[in-house]
Amino acid sequence: MGKIACQVNTTETRWAGFLVDADAEAALPFFPKATKAKKHDDREIVAEAWEEGRTIVTSNADDFLRFISIFQNPPNNNDCRDLWGLLVIPNTQLDREKGLPSLRLGLKVPKIGLLRWPAAGFLNLYVRLTAEGQIQIQRFKRCSFCEHPERGLTIKAPWNKWYRSLPKRGAS
């Protein structure tokens, strides 16, 4: 299967890589295209990730989930402010080392194949690697521009059906 056939959407080529929070810094070597966040405040890291087109990597899910929800869904939103996803990894180094190699290239989706990180970022997924090595996937609520039935995001088959089946995070 060629590279184009594996794409979710051609826009995924804008993905710039991972933006790693200080508490997950030990994970930098596990991922290609990873850089350490320049900002230190979680709210500012969310904005930094959006500006740079990067997926946030952290061990601190609660604050990031709250700030992402606020950032992506401000009142009177006139622009798309959807991010490129969030990857939450375990706090302890041993648990990270156990589970991270399976995520190096992307997410293994049963009956479909490998969802590469640029595509996972484009889909704005919330991915959580548990201490037991399990991978939990949800999708963030998208902005009204991306969810528009006629002019919104186009997600290629077979990924569209899988994506729509994921639990939605931040749904009202």
Does the structure show a pLDDT above 60 at 12? yes
Sheet strands (E) in 74-133: 86-88, 106-109, 113-116, 125-129
| pTM (2 d.p.) | 0.90
Structure tokens at 157: 């088959």
What does the mean pLDDT of the chain come to? Answer: 86
User: What confidence tens digit (pLDDT) does each residue in 22-36 have?
Assistant: 999 988 988 879 999
Mean pLDDT on 9-25: 90
Does the structure show a pLDDT above 50 at 155? yes
Q: Which is more confident, 51 or 132?
A: 51
Residues whose CB is less than 8 angstroms from the CB of residue 163 and which lie 6 or more positions away in sequence, other chains included: 8, 123, 139, 155
Mean pLDDT on 104-128: 93
Q: Where are the alpha helices (DSSP H) in the chain?
A: 3-6, 42-52, 61-72, 93-99, 117-122, 144-147, 159-165
Residue 132 pLDDT grade (very low, low, confident, very high; cuts 50, 70, 90): confident
